[in-house]
Structure 1
Amino acid sequence: MDLRQMQYVVALADEQQFTRAAALTGVSQSGLSAAIRGLEEELGTVLFSRTSRRVEPTDAGRALLPHARSMLAQAAAARDAVVRATRELSGTLRVGAEQCLGLVDVSGLLERFHRRYPQVEVHFDQAGSHDLLARVRAGEIDVAFVATTEHLGALPATVLGSEPLVLLCAPGHPLAGRVQQHGGIGWDDLADVDVIDFSPAWGVRPLNDAACAAHGVRRRVRFTVGDVHTLIDLVDRGLGAALVPRHVAGKPQASRLRALPLPDGAPRWVVSAVSSPGGRGASAAPHLLEMLPVPAGQDTGVPSSTSTTHARPSVTSTPVATGA
């Protein structure tokens, strides 16, 4: 057993799906599957039960999981101890993020950064992606984690990943029944549906507006919210449907809701780390960015014409697990 295998075990146990676990760990789905099979052969037991809907740890897998997490935590702590002993870094770092990005655990990243560089004073603000970009340009934030490819301009940005949007609705919603009868929904089915969406400052709102407009869909946004859990609650109460990134549908609070795939032509939701080209936190910002899990060659699903990936330090730390 090695650390990479433990990383795969933890990611697969957390995500319960090979596709998301592979994206999180920066390996192909076939590579992840082969690594898990190899570990199972080495240990002489099955670690995960596989069904068409999800992947779950077996009793043996659950027994291994706390040890896998401990190994990864100890390895990260060892790296941080070495860095603390060899690097002196101080000053202020100002970070912002949109809520519930899914593809990066900002809280976990900040914890690791603080542990590694305890002399750096970290300030954190949560806001919508478009507000955060304005604050980066104004020099008020050094690094922002955003969910948009719009208005980036010349700002240094690193694409961390992307995922499709899905339509989230209650089990009794008419569109849920249509999928059962016809096997899918079309853009015309979304016309005049009562919609729950985020405020325009959130990255997904203009994405939804533009996609529907491009396909001639008239949207009726009845509820505008500022957090994911309120959106899920309103959908669960049958007050409307919502276009959301796929990981939102995987939250425990959304377990009884239906996540319907969108028709062809739907945009992808893209998460990026955007940094200020200068400012007081310029010396600390690269040290935060170098801890990001951006494996070389990872397919982000973003067309090259819209990708904003810029040069960045090589990744030298354990990938950050996807968070809520």
Structure 2
Amino acid sequence: MELRQLEYFVAVAEERNFTRAAERVHISQSGVSAQVRQLERELGAELFDRSARVATLTVAGKAALEHARAALSAADAVRRSVDEVTGLLRGHVSVGMVVGCTVLPLFEALAAFHGAHPGVELSLTEDNSDRLVEAVRGGALDLALVGTAAPPEGVGSVTVVSEPLVAAVAPGHPLAGRGRVLLREVCAHPLVCMPAGTGLRTVFDRACADQGLRPGIALEASAAGAVADLAARGLGVAILSESMVAGHADRLTAVALRDVEDPALLALVWRDGVPAVPALLRRMRQAFGVAG
């Protein structure tokens, strides 16, 4: 018994006609008939009643049909599994990360993936979050770590970090002694921000727009460390996330924003259809401690 015999048998059963079945499997009608006859001889029973113009299943044919379909489905599953492994052995994954953001779990995941699948070529690109998301949507990137105000549409996504925005100020700044402030109080001072297109900036801009505020952005820098350093030198109030300020606690004071509820998100986004992406995504989830 061969898989092609089962394929032809299922085709005839579903088309109820040998000629249409032959067109479906792209061989001659005589070839389909011969293979089905051979299958019947091996099984010791006729599978079709050929007395009418329509090929009708016999009792034996009805009993065999479900199992034939299951066998073909299992064979397809074997092919898909092998294709996935083959892709992992010699594939390529293009990864993006938000510029100026050194996230150690990302590097740990890439290293673990490379150790498990050394034949897969990895590439890493930095850019701002908006362009990274568009690159994933368009197929230029397979997976990216981005900052965002909300899960992007049109791509797979999972949030790995969610943190509130804070205002970071140097010692001696008028806001330094305040535990919590309003957004309008922060916007009364020169600000140091990450550029438009980054997740942090998007959250901040939306919060300002909701309150009708027009903040004065004095300086912009794409790296969180640079934003923090500028603020530490007294050049403005930095808008950052809690963890970004934590590394500069000796020079900056984090002040909570009372009326900004939406957090800044760090998310993994990916496109489907790339054999190695599910395996890399599993490593990413493990490194960031995200279930799933």
What TM-score do the two structures reach when normalised by structure 1?
Answer: 0.58
Aligned residues: 205
SS of alignment partner, residue 292 of structure 1 = helix
Query: Hey, what's the Cα distance between the residues in 2 that align with 1:130 and 1:233?
Result: 25
SS of alignment partner, residue 172 of structure 2 = coil
* 1:181-225, Cα deviation, whole Å (9 max, x unpaired): xx5312331233100111112111121111122123330001011
* 1:131-159, Cα deviation, whole Å (9 max, x unpaired): 10111111100001111145822211112
Matches within 5 A, 1:162-201: 162-177=162-177, 179=178, 183-201=179-197
1:264 equivalent to 2:256? Answer: no
Q: Report what 1:125 is aligned to.
A: 125
* 1:255-287, Cα deviation, whole Å (9 max, x unpaired): 321001110343201111110134xxx001111
SS of alignment partner, residue 147 of structure 1 = strand
Matches within 5 A, 1:1-324: 89-99=89-99, 105-150=105-150, 152-177=152-177, 179=178, 183-251=179-247, 253-278=248-273, 282-293=274-285, 319-320=287-288
SS of alignment partner, residue 175 of structure 1 = coil
Query: Hey, what's the Cα distance between the residues in 1 that align with 2:257 and 2:96?
Result: 30
Cα offset, 1:101, TM superposition:
5.2
SS of alignment partner, residue 265 of structure 2 = strand
Cα offset, 1:124, TM superposition:
0.3
Cα offset, 1:103, TM superposition:
7.0
Kindly, what percent of the aligned residue pairs are identical?
29
Query: Hey, what's the Cα distance between the residues in 2 that align with 1:237 and 1:213?
Result: 28
Change in CA separation of 1:149 and 1:176 when aligned onto 2, cut-off 3 Å: closer
SS of alignment partner, residue 168 of structure 2 = strand
Amino acid at match of 1:166: V
SS of alignment partner, residue 205 of structure 1 = helix
> Which runs of at least 4 in structure 1 moved beyond 3 Å after TM superposition?
99-104, 318-322
Amino acid at match of 2:219: F
Q: Report what 2:5 is aligned to.
A: none
Cα offset, 1:89, TM superposition:
2.3
Name stretches of at least 5 consecutive residues in structure 1 with no aligned partner.
1-85, 294-317
SS of alignment partner, residue 291 of structure 1 = helix
Cα offset, 1:128, TM superposition:
1.0
Bigger CA radius of gyration:
2
Cα offset, 1:100, TM superposition:
5.8
Cα offset, 1:102, TM superposition:
7.2
Query: Hey, what's the Cα distance between the residues in 2 that align with 1:125 and 1:211?
Result: 29
Contact 2:160 2:288 in 1 (8 A): no
SS of alignment partner, residue 152 of structure 2 = coil
The structure richer in helix per residue is: 2
